[in-house]
Chain A
Amino acid sequence: MKHEGRAANLANSRIPKMQSNSSIDELIACKPIRYTCELVVVRKSRMRVYLKTICLPVLVMLLLTGSIRAEAQTDLNETAAAISRTIDEIFQPSHQRFVEATRQLLESAEISCRDRSAQAVSRLRADYESLISAFARIELYRMGPMTEQLRQNRLFYWPDKRRVGERQLRELLSSASSATLTEAALIEKSVALQGIPALERLLYSKNATENLVDVQTSNCHVATIITQNLHSMATAMNEGWTDESGLVSSMRDPTGDSRTFRNHQEVLQRLATLIVVGVDVVLDKKIQPLVGDNVSVKNAPLWLSEQTVTMITENHHGIRSLLIDSGLATDTGLEDELQFEFRTVDSILEKLASLPSLTDEHTQLTRQTLSLTKALSAVVGGIQSTLNDRFVQRLGISAGFNSEDGD
């Protein structure tokens, strides 16, 4: 029942300048209150009454207050530790990995444009696949640097049901200015042109290799500029997560006058929302389009580069890190249950990854693929229910609701 006490304590933390009681943070910070019982000369019976009606309850209250305060302090320390662990062991290394992946990809793109060989293009594709793995790990960490400067859309404009990116890329490549495109010019253009989907099309669409090695086309140059843009965004995001004076400081030591986080509960709420919304995104947008009759692989993310399973797997690992490695699941008493469900997801994803292809020769999903995506949907649906109905409740919070799917 530890989590319930913690939930109550967290629920009681509040924004300073509020109209009533002090927050737990403030209570802990303040000095213990000293109670004194003045000795007075009274008759024995009155003394007994006095002891029974006043001193004893005060003593009991003192003991309880001390106990509650100690527990609140412990819980707060645990929450602060979990938040710091999330920053140090999850956000920072994963963003560092993303920077490295974009750096490597940029190097390969530059080599590819210089060498103009099929071998260099193969190397570029291999580095692109590493980039997908690194990006998918952080894709659902939609807070702080990811939400600034429209980076979420600029990195990965998807789903693009209207094929805006495809159309705009075709127009760009057919224009004379594409050969002299700069990163500064790119960031003024459509978000659908600035990130991974456009790069995927340049690397994997029909005749991609021929176009990339052909010096007469601007495909390789545009791919390099997009890669530069990816690297710039990755670098800025990594700086956001390593700068101890900004977001990170506010998460570790939230204060009442902060515009970001005013107390630990708000940080916890944001992390829980990343987890809950992250599972919603993976299930509703990435897995469900691959379940049912008459589904098309083209509804899946990164189907052209056949990185769909990699992306879902890394999304899943990113969520698991946030939920389990951070210690949040342990605090809610749901770790064993969630671990079991996540292992089941792992197992299904491994089977999907081991398939030679998700589709047959007619680009239809195979029966085996459909069977596995259906199972995946059921298990992730179970995780979704656990998170929505019990995880957030045991943390004593409500996760965000409107930020992902408004109207």
Chain B
Amino acid sequence: MERSVLSRRSLLKAAIYSLCAPDTISFAGSTVAGTRQTEDPNHVSATPSGRLYISGARQSSEEYAAVVFDEHGTILSSVPLSARAHGAACHHQTNRACLFARRPGLYMNTFDLRAPQTHHSIAPMKGRHYYGHGAFSSTGDLLFATENDYEAARGVIGLYDATRGYQRIGETSTAGVGPHEVVRVPGSSLLVLANGGIQTHPDSGRDKLNIDSMHPSLSIIDSRDGTLVGQHFLSDDLHQVSLRHLACTGDGEVWFAGQYEGTDPTTDGLAGFISIEQSIDSFQRGVSRKGLTLIDLPAGLQMQSLRYLSSVAVAGNQVIYTAAKGGLAFSINRKTRQLKESVSLFDASGVAALPYTNLSANAEKRVPDGSTLITTGTGEIVRLGYNGATRVATHRLQWDNHLYALF
């Protein structure tokens, strides 16, 4: 079994790598020149090596792409995109991946990792725009995309059939406004949504229309029928902490990252997690916020982050946050819930760790050093391990907000 998995991985990597064998890479009839050119002074790999990653990137002022690179930072492929991307969804077994346009997003770009040249750009249905994130079902046959029903000012999950060209087959409410990231709880049909609480409308671009009255929440939805099975709201004094990004552990926790939209210089509540089991239980019993835990970040760190957390990832017993505006990344120990380490990293935003499926209960000891990669808007790829931060590669492009591990 393991051998076949390894074999499949090797084949997929070879398929992706074959696309960049020449110095120009072709996708759907177009070419992207020079994407193999790396500024990595330390390592230029002749073959793809180890785990693969995907991220959106800006290559010049008007050129955007979905970029795949290996764990040494060597760029293996680059798919041109029509506009700035944001998050991605990947399904390892079916080789499906999708990159979502940044809000108010007008495309999602789906592709088969075995043959990325067949990528498709899908526009949102009338009256909707994408919010930049999505997730696949456990089989990989369905894609869930966060969307804005902007006339009704309500968040929805668009449901797409990946086996039929990502045909839109329905939608369900997110039970909130401004849904941002959605993740699927491992081994289940449960989706967790970060309803950022911020109302936007395409007529107003990226303007935030309801900051005074915003009411963010975390919703747990059963994707089989769209039933809301759990929901948390922050306390009233934290109603301007927009809950935006999520990361699952392998044992029923979902960690979140918030961004403060208000003017109070002392507000916290940027980071925390929910227990899925307790959250569903408390929802059924009508108890508020039981199952939600806020992390007490040091005041100095909150100040330094400018109270804006960009992304979150879980690696074993570490939870890693990036804070692009404050220029730092930091990790929280899941057991002690204390800050473990922080590093100064200018424009750090994307963060990806080993997928939860590879981690055991005693994962911290088994996760190899360098299990977490961080990307920055200045083109850097940095490995965050037990020996601190190490620069892996620097490219002449600007990595966008989020990074995902593919294999």
Does B49 belong to the interface (CB within 8 Å)?
Answer: no
A-B contact count (CB 8 A): 132
Does B43 belong to the interface (CB within 8 Å)?
Answer: yes
Q: Roughly how many angstroms separate A187 CA and B395 CA in the complex, as a whole number?
A: 41
Does B61 belong to the interface (CB within 8 Å)?
Answer: yes
Does B90 belong to the interface (CB within 8 Å)?
Answer: no
Q: Which residues of chain A (340-373) have a CB below 8 Å from chain B?
A: none
Q: Roughly how many angstroms separate A19 CA and B73 CA in the complex, as a whole number?
A: 13
Chain B positions 330 through 367: 1 when the CB is less than 8 Å from some CB of chain A, otherwise 0: 00000000000001101101000000000000000000
Question: In the complex where A17-B387, A406-B308 touch, is A398 in contact with B397 (Cβ < 8 A)?
Answer: yes
Q: Which residues of chain B (384-407) have a CB below 8 Å from chain A?
A: 387-391, 394-401
Number of interface residues of B (CB under 8 A): 52
Does A206 belong to the interface (CB within 8 Å)?
Answer: no
A15 close to B390 (CB less than 8 A): yes
Q: Which residues of chain A (241-255) have a CB below 8 Å from chain B?
A: none
B310 close to A402 (CB less than 8 A): yes
Give A271 Cβ to nearest chain B Cβ, in Å: 11
Name the B residues within 8 Å of A15 (CB-CB): 389-391
Does B316 belong to the interface (CB within 8 Å)?
Answer: no
Among A193, A270, A400, the most chain B Cβ lie within 10 Å of the Cβ of: A400
A402 close to B265 (CB less than 8 A): no
Give B88 Cβ to nearest chain A Cβ, in Å: 14
Does A130 belong to the interface (CB within 8 Å)?
Answer: no
Give B78 Cβ to nearest chain A Cβ, in Å: 15
Does B186 belong to the interface (CB within 8 Å)?
Answer: no
Name the A residues within 8 Å of B306 (CB-CB): 147, 150, 152
Question: In the complex where A188-B266, A406-B349, A407-B132 touch, is A401 in contact with B390 (Cβ < 8 A)?
Answer: no
Does B121 belong to the interface (CB within 8 Å)?
Answer: no
Does B23 belong to the interface (CB within 8 Å)?
Answer: no
B265 close to A157 (CB less than 8 A): no
Chain B positions 254 through 295: 1 when the CB is less than 8 Å from some CB of chain A, otherwise 0: 000001000111100000000000000000000000000000
Does B42 belong to the interface (CB within 8 Å)?
Answer: yes
A389 close to B61 (CB less than 8 A): yes
B396 close to A402 (CB less than 8 A): no
Chain B positions 143 through 167: 1 when the CB is less than 8 Å from some CB of chain A, otherwise 0: 0000000000000000000000000
Q: Roughly how many angstroms separate A12 CA and B61 CA in the complex, as a whole number?
A: 24
Among A12, A193, A270, A401, the most chain B Cβ lie within 10 Å of the Cβ of: A401
Q: Roughly how many angstroms separate A187 CA and B303 CA in the complex, as a whole number?
A: 14
Q: Roughly how many angstroms separate A384 CA and B343 CA in the complex, as a whole number?
A: 31
Of chain A, the residue at the smallest CB distance from B328 is A259
Give B131 Cβ to nearest chain A Cβ, in Å: 9
Q: Which residues of chain B (59-75) have a CB below 8 Å from chain A?
A: 60-61
Does A403 belong to the interface (CB within 8 Å)?
Answer: yes
Does A396 belong to the interface (CB within 8 Å)?
Answer: yes
Among A150, A157, A388, A403, the most chain B Cβ lie within 10 Å of the Cβ of: A403
A406 close to B303 (CB less than 8 A): no
Q: Roughly how many angstroms separate A407 CA and B259 CA in the complex, as a whole number?
A: 9
Majority SS at the chain A contact face = loop
Of chain B, the residue at the smallest CB distance from A142 is B325
Does A21 belong to the interface (CB within 8 Å)?
Answer: yes
Q: Which of A14, A385, A406 touches B41 (beta carbons < 8 Å)? A: A14
Does B102 belong to the interface (CB within 8 Å)?
Answer: yes
Does A266 belong to the interface (CB within 8 Å)?
Answer: yes
Does A1 belong to the interface (CB within 8 Å)?
Answer: no
Name the B residues within 8 Å of A153 (CB-CB): 263
Name the A residues within 8 Å of B391 (CB-CB): 14-15, 18
Q: Roughly how many angstroms separate A384 CA and B327 CA in the complex, as a whole number?
A: 23
Does B58 belong to the interface (CB within 8 Å)?
Answer: yes
B325 close to A17 (CB less than 8 A): no
Binding site for A on B (CB under 8 A): 39, 41-43, 58, 60-61, 86, 102-103, 132, 180, 207, 211-212, 244, 259, 263-266, 303-304, 306, 308, 310, 324-327, 343-344, 346-347, 349, 376-379, 387-391, 394-401
- 19 more A-B contacts (CB under 8 A) besides A191-B264, A269-B378, A385-B61? A14-B41, A18-B42, A152-B306, A154-B265, A162-B211, A162-B212, A188-B265, A188-B266, A190-B263, A273-B347, A384-B61, A388-B60, A393-B396, A398-B378, A398-B394, A398-B395, A402-B347, A402-B398, A407-B102
Closest 5 CB pairs of A and B: A401-B377, A398-B379, A401-B398, A388-B61, A402-B324
7 sample A-B contacts, Cβ–Cβ < 8 Å, listed by A number = A21-B41, A147-B327, A385-B61, A401-B377, A402-B399, A403-B377, A407-B180
